[in-house]
Each structure stands twice: as structure tokens, then as C-alpha cells.
Structure 1
């Protein structure tokens, strides 16, 4: 098979499919910086892309099984290096963390489930999830909230993007008990990282053909911290005169998203606000089971669900909705310049939902995870012809 693809993460052209070479040789992907969307080598029949897989907790392993089944059925040239890491199942350690980091740094692309963080304090403030982000400098989390064809909600035809800075802010793991009964939790906002995430948002809007970026903040109360974030966004906005720039206070943003989400295009915000807003926005289009997400550094890309939940109550019941993870997997394939396979998987998932015959419980149906995956496999049309 020879697939010729051009472009970057955000500008890709359809490839051509020809004959298949008899044997595949595995090699990692080389990624360079630039909107964290590097120039990737074209997919070839003699190249199987290596990807790190971390199933995580809850239904994560079941969702990863769905991804592997769909990839196998679609002859997707991806090989997974799988690592099981869990804080709640005593499967996390410094050694395991280093193994995962080594694999991610080598492959530069990963797909992962939610690594659940226990609420109890056990001597370490930073969770393994947060430590992964920091060590890889995964500063930008992108959640594309898009209505699914055939699934009606209160607000249909939604199309907005949430971009979250996720290496500082309230999630800086800086807490201490100053005196008995008094806890101080520090929120860290820096000009460097605020400008970096603002530039990422404006570059994203430019390359995706979007018209407006809205900065979300609480600068009326946190005048210095959020004030610095807001000032940084405004400074960066001046470099992009063709993109409209607005700002909105976080509490008003929540209300406006519920009342009139169509006014938003790209939203950029600090860590905690993004964690809240991406979950709220997911609820507008069907819930956490249908919204994909991805995180970027200058060198690495990690694909996961947009609203991160382990859904522990659904473990082993075969009822989890694999839509979000499958769409994230499709986005990962696009990042690898496997545009053909990406479109094939994405179209199959959306076709199943649009047909309305096979839906999981969260979308009002009665079907199992297995039923949904089988339906997606049946809808994998335009498969590569060897």
C-alpha cells in the first residue's frame, strides 16, 4: 500500500491508495514543533506507526479494546506499546511512570484513558496524571465540541473549541497547612505560559479557519493572577488582527454556554476553568461519552476523551460509550498523516450514531459497548484495497 499524504496536523489532503507491500517494518514517528503540529512523514506500506497506549482506570481498558478492534478491522497501520498504570489499583510507581514517559518520548504520540486520582492525601500532592502532563509539558488541551449528526439535543449544530492551559493555575500542587485548620492553596499564573496558550489558541483559529477567540477569566476578583492571563491574551490578540477577540468572566460564560452556545467559536482559559467548561460543553452534545480531546506540547501529542471520567460504576458491565475514544483515535490517525484511515474510522462512528439503531444507554439506547463496536466495524466502508 502506498499512501501519499501532505500537510500538517491542521492542513491535510486526501491520499491515494495503491498496492500493499508484503511486510511492515515498525518505526517511531518523528515530531518537530510548530503549533505543536509537526511535519510528519507520509504513511507508507513499510511503516507501522508506534503509539503508546495507557488504558487507565474505570472503563478505560474496555474503550481501548474497542479502539484495537476497530483498528484491526480497518487494517490501520498502528502498533501499540501498552502500559497499565493506576493509582487506585496499586499499579502506579516511579518505575512505571518512567517506563510510560520513555515510551511516549520515543513514540511522541500516545492514546490514554483517565488515570483516576484518589481524593485521599497519601503524601504526594501531584497525581500521576498531572505529573505526566508536566514532564511532557503537555500545556495545551483541545476539546472540539461538535454536535453528532442524527442525535438531537437542546442545541443542535454546535461547533466550538475549548483550549485549556493545563500545566499551571489551580492545579499546581502547591498546598500547605499554614496553621492548624488553615490550608493555603496557591494558584500560579505566569506571563510566559499565558502568552503561550494564547498564541496556541490564535494559531489554531487561524489554521482552522475560525473567526473568534474568547478568553475566559475571573479578573474582576483575581485581579493579579487572572489579570495577568487576560492581559497576556489581549497582547497576543493584537498580533492577529483578522481574528476577533473577546473576553468573558467564567461564571457568565457558563450561563451563556447553556443559553446561547452559538456565540462562541474558540475559547481559551486557565486550567481549572477549562476542566469545568469542557465538561459543561460535553453535556450540550450528549455527554462525556461522545466528545474527543487531545493534549499537545512542542514535541508530543496525547489523545484521550474530552471530558475525563473513569466511569468506575460502569466497569465490567459492557455499557460504556466508546464514541469519544474512537473519535480521539481517529484524530490521532489524522495527526499521524493517516488521513484516509482517520476519515474511515470517524465516518463509521458517526454513521452508526446517525442511523440510530445502535446506541448505548447514555444516548438513550439499550445496546452494549460490544454492539456499538460491531456496528462501527460493519460501517468501515472504503477500506484499503490491497
Structure 2
């Protein structure tokens, strides 16, 4: 008997979780549940991360969390419990499977275009690091973290998952044409991993083009892997292709802990009315059952769900309006009544269960993920972000006085666009500039040189932030300004 942690969630969470667990119980799924305290009501009791310490310890001991939707209190300066959980336990791969469900009408099902797309979203990094600063009263800065080890983790997972499911194609969605270093690193990792899977067709698509193609020919895609923010947006787009978030499951997979949840929110407007659709959470439950080796149970229940949907049974948020809708409990009972039946379309095969118990890891320290640490590092210069409402030439005149014998002023940009030594009077400015200084004659600099320049320049400007201009090996590790 495998024991898992269960958090019912907020809003409609308890209703749909009870419905799903009733289906599992009727199917005699060999799981034991330990209920944990997480969600908005835990925030309200003073727990800033939305979970009690006992809940965190239980989840870390058991390795699996099955959770309902959870709300983060607004205006209290706290982080999303959903994002916090994924990041705390390094569930680096978010897998969302979007399939045509017969009985759930969409423009594609009516046109006879089948959809079977799996989105794998990096789950830890990107702008979801939530590292933001107001560097002037008019300028907000968000730091976007894309790391080689983090990218390799999720991309290796995506390729391995695609290979096991017999996928024909795996696609990297990206914006490397604009974000050449961050998305460029992700894309570089994608093709590095692709070399180990010669039987899989691996290609890449710029994310805006990907979105257009998904809403015109979704049947041409199989597995798509993306960075965090882009993956979040694209996965919700895919939910719209198959009927909405009510049919969007989610598995957050890590090396030690995995979280299974529906994508949709807490729907407070219908909470307590007993009319919520439990399908998304049930679909997420199938991923959980497969994760612990209960393949036959997962397929048997999924066949019953698919048969139920094909029969026209529905909750109030979808289906034939000429047929009465069922409430949450009635819908679960209808699925239970169809155990043993198989749908006409895409029935799941009978399989043998290989139930496994999750290993409890007693970690003594945090894992350090690091790539090749032997690469030669060199400081070529520094970007100094300064606050000023002066014109570009006035900024340059002051900066040139501080360059000294080690630095040369290369360019000045505003919102990423060069405004000195060349630029246009038609470029609108904000009160934050980036002054780029590089070393004279390409001599290596050290941090003390940079600090000296910082101190000198601070005599004329308020320095908001700085970034070193590094070279790793023979590659410059910084971008150019627009127009540079």
C-alpha cells in the first residue's frame, strides 16, 4: 500500500478532491492518504509559505503530493503557494497532456482534427524566480534566470518521456531570436540532449509562431518543451484547444518529490455549490497512479471516464445543453458505474500494475548543480545602470571623466536601445540608463577595478545596479544593445 500526501485545497478544491478519491476508493486503488494543511486558510493562520511545518515534513517523507487548487491571499506580500511548492521541492518538469475528449465539443473535434499534445514546461527558473526591484520610481526590473543545469534537467526529462511514449516528434519552443543568451542557452541544451535520441525528430519553433501553428494545426505537434513563462502561456492555450482548463491535468515531476494537481483555479464563485467539474483533477490523478506503477487501475478508471464523456454525461460547464447536467458527486458516481466499459475512441489498454513505494530521501545538504567549472572566466567590463534625467550626450560627458586608464565608455543605452554614441532623437527615454564600460586594449579586469569605477561614477550619478561583462572560454557572455 503506497502512502501519499493529499491537500484538498481552497474553493472548489475539497469538493473535487472528495469526488476523485471516491472514484479511487470504488476502484480499490491501493493508496493510503495522509491529509496535510496547505492553502489560503493556512496563510491566514500566519504561515507565510502557505503550509504548516508538519505538512512540509510529511510531503518530504512521502515524496508525493496530490493537491487541489489553492489560493494565494492578495495584497499581503506573500508568494503563490503553488509556485512555492514546485520550487521548494525542485519539481523541475511540469507535464501537461492535452487530448481530444469525445463528448467535449471543440472546433477541432467538430472538424475531426485529433489533438494529442504534451507540453513540458520548465518549472523552477525564468521570471518565476520572482526577483524584482524598482530601480527608479519609473523603472521596474525583473531578473530572468535560465541555467544550464536546470535546462538540462527538464529537457532530459522531456526527451526520455517522449521516447517512452513513442512520440514521433519533440519540439523546443523559444524566443532565442530576441533573448539570445537566455533562450539561446535553453535551445543549445535542447540540441545537445537531442544527439542522444536519434530516433526522435527534434526541431525548434519560435514561440509566437508556435502559438499560431497550435491554433491552426495542433495535430502536427506531439511533445513540446519550453521555458517556464512561455510554457505557462502555451499550456493554457492548449487547454483551450481541448475544451478549457476543466480538462487540463498537471504533473510536477522532480527527482525526489512529485506534485499532481489540476491546472485550474479555486473558482470561488461556485465553491460550496457541488457543481464543479472534477475531470482535470481526475486526469491528474491518472498521472499519479502511473507514477506509482498502478497502470491498470489508471487505465481502467480513464476508460470509464472516456466512456462516460462519450455517453454525453456532463457537468454544467460543458456538454449538450439539451441534456441535464450532473453535479460533482453525480458525475463521479456515473464514472464509477461505468467501470469495466471501454470508449469507442482511443480506449486505454489493459496493463499489469507494478506498484512501487516511493523512496524516502534523507538529504544532508542541498544539491549543487554545476556544469564544467574548468572554463576560463574573464571580466571584460561592466554595465552600470544609473538613474538620471539628463540627455545622452550629457550622460556621456560625465561618464567619460570617470573611465580612467583601465576603462573606455563603449555605449549608453536606454531600455535596451543605444542612444550614444549614435542614436535618434525619436527614441523616448526613461530616467534609467545603462553605461557600458569595457577594458582598454582587452586587458583582463578584476572586481576591484569595477568597484573603483562604481565609486568614482557614484560621485555624479545614483548607480542603481551593475552587471559584469564576462567571457567564459572564448564566448562573450553579454548581449549588445539595440542599434549597437
TM over 0.5: yes
Write out aligned runs for 1:357-376 (5 A): 357-365=313-321, 366-376=325-335
**C-alpha distance in 2 between matches for 1:216 and 1:71:** 36
- What's the secondary structure of 1:110's corresponding residue? strand
Aligned partner of residue 281 in structure 1, secondary structure: helix
Q: In the alignment, which of 238, 260, 271 is matched to residue 217 of structure 2?
A: 260
Aligned CA distance change for structure 1 residues 95 and 187 (closer, same or farther; 3 Å): closer
Match of 2:106 in 1: 153
Instruction: Describe the shift of the 1:110–1:359 C-alpha distance in structure 2 as closer, same or farther (beyond 3 A).
Output: same
1:352–1:95 distance in 2 versus 1, CA, 3 Å = closer
The Cα offsets for residues 1-47 of structure 1, whole Å up to 9 and x where unpaired, read as xxxxxxxxxxxxxxxxxxxxxxxxxxxxxxxxxxxxxxxxxxxxxxx
Moved more, 360-369 or 146-155: 360-369
Higher strand share: 2
Aligned match of 1:218: 175
Which residue in 2 is equivalent to 1:239? Answer: 196
- Gap runs ≥5 in structure 1: 1-47
Counterparts of residues 325-364 of structure 1 (less than 5 Å): 325-364=281-320
The answer to whether the 8 Å contact 1:327/1:349 transfers is no
- Out of 125, 134, 149, the residue aligned to residue 87 of structure 2 is 134
TM-score, with length taken from structure 1: 0.81
- Cα distance change, pair 220–364 in 1 and its aligned pair in 2 (3 A): farther
Q: Which moved more, 1:87-96 or 1:309-318?
A: 87-96
Deviations 1:229-268 (A, max 9, x none): 1111122112221111111111111111111111111000
8 Å CA contact 1:168–1:271 kept in 2: the answer is yes
Question: What pairs up with 1:279-358 in 2 under 5 angstroms?
Answer: 279-305=236-262, 307-358=263-314
Aligned residue for 1:302, secondary structure, equals: strand
**For the residues of structure 2 that align with 1:187 and 1:304, how far apart are their CA atoms?**
26
Aligned equivalents of 2:60, 2:171: Cα separation in 1: 32
| TM-score of the two chains, using structure 2 as the length reference | 0.65
Contact 2:313 2:319 in 1 (8 A): no
Q: Does 1:115 align with 2:70?
A: yes
Residue pair 1:175, 1:186 contacting (<8 A) in 2 also? yes
Match of 2:338 in 1: 379
Seen in structure 2, the aligned counterparts of structure 1 residues 250 and 119 have a Cα distance that, compared at 3 Å, is farther
**SS at structure 1 position matched to 2:234:** helix
Higher gyration radius (CA) = 2
Contact persistence 2:86–2:259 (CA under 8 A): no
SS at match of 1:96: coil
Q: In structure 2, do the counterparts of structure 1 residues 150 and 100 end up closer, same or farther at CA, with 3 Å as the change threshold? A: same
Shift of 1:361: 2.3
Tell me the alpha carbon deviations over residues 151-188 of structure 1, each in whole angstroms, 9 at most, x when there is no partner. Answer: 33222321110000010001001011112232111111
Change (3 A) 1:123 1:360: closer
Secondary structure in 2 aligned to 1:177?
strand
Secondary structure in structure 2 of the residue aligned to 1:241: coil
* Deviation readout 1:138-157 (Å, 9 max, x if unpaired): 00000011111333322232
Q: What SS does structure 1 have at the residue aligned with 2:6?
A: strand
Corresponding residue of 1:90: 44
CA distance in 2, matches of 1:378, 1:92: 43
Indicate how the Cα distance of structure 1 residues 258 and 118 shifts in structure 2: closer, same or farther if over 3 A, else same.
Answer: farther
Match of residue 198 from structure 1: 155
| Deviation of 1:91 (Å) | 4.8
**In 1: Cα distance, 2:275 partner to 2:329 partner:** 8
Match in the other structure for 2:138: 181
Query: Are residues 95 and 302 of structure 1, via their aligned partners in 2, closer, same or farther at CA, if it must alter by over 3 Å?
Result: closer
Determine the C-alpha separation between the residues in 2 that align with 1:357 and 1:341.
Answer: 22
Residues 358, 371 of structure 1: 8 Å contact kept: no
Distance in 1 (CA, whole Å) between partners of 2:195 and 2:98 is 27
Q: Number of paired residues?
A: 332
Aligned to 1:103: 58
Once the two structures are TM-superposed, the CA of residue 337 in structure 1 deviates from its matched residue by 1.6
364-373 vs 284-293, which moves further: 364-373
1:69–1:137 CA distance, 2 compared to 1 (3 A): same
Deviation, 1:119, is 4.4
The CA distance in 1 between the partners of 2:156 and 2:247, in whole Å, is: 28
Q: Using the alignment, how far apart are the partners of 1:179 and 1:87 within structure 2?
A: 33
CA contact (8 A) 2:172 2:187 kept: yes
Task: Output the CA distance in 1 between the equivalents of 2:181 and 2:213.
Answer: 25
Cα drift, residue 313 of structure 1: 1.9
Instruction: Please give the secondary structure, in 1, of the residue aligned with 2:280.
Output: helix
1:78 aligned residue: 31
